[in-house]
Structure 1
Amino acid sequence: MERVKGFPSRCLKMLARWLCPGADDDHAAIAQRLGMLPKSEVDHADDLAQWVEDERAAIAQWEEAERAAARDSLQAFTLRLNKRLAAGAGRSGNLVFSPLCLYAALSLWATGARERTLNELLGVLGVPSRDVHTFHVCTLARQALTDRPRTGGPRVSFGCGVWHDATVPLRPAFRDVNFHRQPEEAREQINAWVAALTNDLIPTLIGRDALSHLTDLVLVNTIYFKAKWNKSFDEERHLFHRLDNIAIDTPFMRGFGRQRIAWHNGFKVLQLRYEQGRPLPVQSQPQPTYSMCVFLPDVRDGLCWLASQIA
């Protein structure tokens, strides 16, 4: 690497590593980044240092904008999905789903899709292109799926896989099984993969006779989360009023102390934080925190109204 006028070579190499982490001294990326420097700014160390600060600030601003776009994309997808699923569940059914899991499963499908199928998937996910979507998925994974059991934090395990029949040519990254001739063996293989990722909480995801010789492709997504409350609760039984006006004796969590509560028109939101554990080593990305948010309507039969307001 050539010495820049007015700037020691050793310092220049340190600066290059700062701009391009993990790169060698003669890496092409370093030369490219340094080649972007206007000559008038290279002549003075102070100007060069200021250019570096401006560059890093611009990159940080762009990354934060992309993280916000990824969150907005998932949030919009969640609201649309909740409205559709809630309408199907009706007043008497329970509804449990993971927007992140469904988002990831469709994302995996979009990875191998083309033309009309790809455009339809991107429209459902709410992103303009495959490249933007790939960045969003990576950003969401870093933000929401940080496994921290060694520091006393939450245990998070996430898996997303595609199994395709051996007669269907796909990229090597996708798993191949024999649905046509050995559907039961394929079912056991998928279930074993899910059980391992969920710490055996879900030993059987694919039921018997769910796969057959007509099956060509199976997308599987799973998430496992285990954490302690930041402040523990005592158990106390109270009447729980269901939507069908039947009240049943149910164990409730009871605790005292300051809580994070937001009041809105017609409902409240309670945020219950999980124990985060010891801080991780210093990172460029902000470390995620986990909590449960409970939405409670002001009136006893206001759940359906609340769901419509959220959607």
Structure 2
Amino acid sequence: MSTQAVVPCLEFVKSVGMGEAEDKNFVYSPGEEVRAQANKWAEKATNGLIESVLPPESITNKTKILLANALYFKGIWKKEFDESSAKDSKFYLLDGSFVEAPFMTTYVDQIVHSFSYFKGLRLLYKVTDDTKELLMYIFLPHKKDGLWDLVKKVASDSEFLTKHVCKLSRYVSVRRFMIPKFKISIGFEASKVLKEGGLDLPFSKGDDAGLHGQLL
């Protein structure tokens, strides 16, 4: 974008959107400098959880606009796992093979229910407001290769979750309770979503003259 300040846009992002915005000239500014700045912002916004969002050479002189968003969630289980009790065990992959992976273990009662072809688990997070609940549901197929069948059932029945999570309501004794340590991540091509939402200008061919003064 041009070095001409897009004042209305910057002020809106800072005051109303509670975000950060800067005007950069991608033609003359070193791409690696901008990339490093964006990655540093992401690392700070996620408390060090995400150290890098932009790979090398992802910012070029053809870049028109850079949009970034970060959501950081740090939850604490209501019934915490003892880190010292974590141990490696078999984690089965979709092809039937397995790898050794670290598992969290506990002997504390859990909200578990066994259905016809899968088990359901309800894990609660600690919350400061007793009138609210924050929780996670985990479904485990009985069969090692039953994941896709379970996914299809969930996707094909709009009331699947409603019908099953209501039965996850009481604590039961567990003899061997193990959950693999995990990370959740997702990636997608944002340009298509933005264009479908009406943001066509940054992706149009030609110069960026039309971007000046626009609220993006």
TM-score (norm: length of structure 1): 0.40
Match of 1:181 in 2: 28
Q: Which residue of 2 aligns with 1:248?
A: 99
CA distance in 2, matches of 1:203, 1:171: 27
Structure 2's unaligned 5+ residue stretches are 14-20, 156-216
Following superposition of structure 1 onto structure 2, how do residues 131-210 of structure 1 map, counting pairs within 5 Å? 166=3, 171-172=9-10, 173-174=12-13, 175=21, 176-182=23-29, 183-210=31-58
Corresponding residue of 2:110: 259
Could you tell me which amino acid in structure 2 is paired with residue 299 of structure 1?
K
Separation in 1, partners of 2:65, 2:44: 21
1:83-128, Cα deviation, whole Å (9 max, x unpaired): xxxxxxxxxxxxxxxxxxxxxxxxxxxxxxxxxxxxxxxxxxxxxx
- The aligned residue for residue 51 of structure 1 is none
Kindly indicate whether the alpha-carbon contact (under 8 Å) linking 1:195 and 1:203 is maintained by their aligned counterparts in 2: yes
Distance (Å, rounded) in 1 between the aligned partners of 2:26 and 2:153: 43
- Per-residue CA shift, 1:186-243, capped at 9, x if unaligned? 2122112111111122222112100111111222121222232211233243222111
Name 1:295's counterpart in structure 2. Answer: 139
Aligned to 2:148: 304
Q: Which has the larger radius of gyration?
A: 1
Q: Is the Cα–Cα contact under 8 Å of residues 178 and 186 in structure 1 kept in the other structure?
A: no
- The one of 223, 229, 233 aligned to 2:77: 229
Residues 221 and 296 of structure 1: CA distance in aligned 2, closer, same or farther (over 3 Å): same
Contact preservation (8 Å) 2:43, 2:50: yes
Unaligned runs of 5+ in 1: 1-163, 281-285
Q: Distance in 1 between matches of 2:135 and 2:3?
A: 42
Change (3 A) 1:208 1:302: same
Question: How far off is 1:168 after superposition?
Answer: 9.2
| 3-state SS of 1:260 partner | strand
Equivalences for residues 66-81 of structure 1 within 5 A: none
| Contact residue 165 and residue 216 of structure 1 kept, 8 A | no
Query: Closer, same or farther in 2 for the Cα pair 1:257/1:187, shift >3 Å?
Result: same
1:135-187 CA-partner distances (Å, limit 9, x unpaired): xxxxxxxxxxxxxxxxxxxxxxxxxxxxx664695723352222222122221
Q: Percent identity?
A: 30
Question: Are residues 188 and 241 of structure 1, via their aligned partners in 2, closer, same or farther at CA, if it must alter by over 3 Å?
Answer: same
Partner Cα separation in structure 2 for residue 256 and residue 193 of structure 1:
41
Would you tell me which structure has more helix in proportion to its own residues? 1
Q: What amino acid sits opposite 1:204 in the alignment?
A: S
Alpha-carbon distance in 1 for matches of 2:2, 2:143 = 52
Which residue in 1 is equivalent to 2:66? 218
Counterpart CA distance in 2 for 1:215 and 1:296 is 44
Kindly tell me: are residues 165 and 186 of structure 1, through their superposed partners in 2, closer, same or farther at Cα, counting changes over 3 Å? farther
Q: Summarize the Cα distance change of 1:188–1:307 in structure 2 as closer, same or farther, 3 Å threshold.
A: same
Aligned-partner Cα distance in 2 for 1:167–1:244: 55
Measured after TM superposition, the shift of residue 296 of structure 1 is 0.9
**1:264 to partner: Cα distance:** 4.5
